[in-house]
């Protein structure tokens, strides 16, 4: 997952489609999820899909989405931002670990959702 975040950080904002497609393919191979699927999921389905993932994977998945949105944004920005926010909220409800980074991402995502 860290490798995918590294790829997202290296996205060229002028020619991002190929980079995002590669990240999406890697995400599909590793987690059987795509960004499009995540953006279209209802909250309950999202929670069901991430419930069996380790909390570090959930946080990194949210961070990946956050990083992509910071770099490029797109027509799914609001929907993906909401899903990343929900993932972080899920972690807050189910994790015994507090994360300042998680809180900062949630605050930024919340601003995008206003």
Q: pLDDT averaged over consecutive 10-residue blocks of the chain (114 residues)?
A: 82 82 92 91 95 92 91 74 94 91 93 84
The confidence score (pLDDT) of residue 76 equals 55
Q: Within 10 Å of residue 83's Cβ, how many Cβ atoms?
A: 24
**Structure pTM?**
0.86
CA atoms of 4 and 73, how far apart (whole Å): 17
One-character DSSP codes across 11-69: --TTS-HHHHHHHHHHHHHHHS--HHHHHH--HHHHHHHHTTS-HHHHHHHHHHHHHHH
The confidence score (pLDDT) of residue 75 equals 56
Domain range for 98 is: 2-113
- Number of structural domains (the chain) is 1
CA atoms of 53 and 16, how far apart (whole Å): 28
């Amino acid at each position: 997952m860290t490798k995918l975040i590294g790829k997202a950080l290296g996205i060229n904002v002028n020619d991002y489609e190929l980079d995002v497609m590669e990240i999406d393919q890697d995400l599909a191979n590793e987690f059987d999820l795509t960004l499009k699927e995540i953006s279209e999921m209802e909250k309950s389905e999202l929670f069901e899909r991430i419930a069996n993932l380790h909390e570090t994977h959930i946080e990194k998945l949210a961070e990946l989405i956050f990083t992509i949105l910071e770099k490029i944004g797109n027509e799914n920005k609001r929907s993906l931002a909401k899903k990343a926010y929900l993932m972080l909220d899920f972690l807050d409800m189910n994790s015994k670990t507090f994360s300042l980074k998680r809180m900062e991402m949630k605050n930024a995502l919340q601003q995008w959702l206003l």
